[in-house]
Amino acid sequence: MASTNSWARYEPYLRYKNVSSSTFVSTNSVVVADTEVSANSVIIFIPKAAPIGVWFLQSKTAGVGFTIGSTDAENNIAFDYIIL
């Protein structure tokens, strides 16, 4: 099977953001500022290394951004995210 960029067909519908790095510090969360977030947004985040603990969408605020939570405060991992 030939390798293709399966995301290409979705490009008109996606707002793709590349976050260079984030650190979960003592509060087990990281805030990502992004004005493209709406009340109905679905946010997919992809760690660039194996995370420690479980990551989850802790909160989102339309026009402001979102917070990713973790069950472990030892994370120091870069990640990408997609807002649908």
Q: Is residue 37 part of a domain?
A: yes
Count of domains for the chain: 1
- Tell me whether residue 3 is in a domain: no
pTM given for the model: 0.71
Residue 18's domain comprises 12-83
What distances in angstroms separate CA 1 from CA 4, 7, 10, one per listed residue?
Answer: 9, 17, 20
- What does the pLDDT profile of the chain (84 residues) look like in tens digits? 444 556 566 666 666 565 545 555 556 888 888 888 899 888 888 888 888 888 899 999 999 999 988 888 777 777 888 888
Give the SS3 label for residue 75: coil
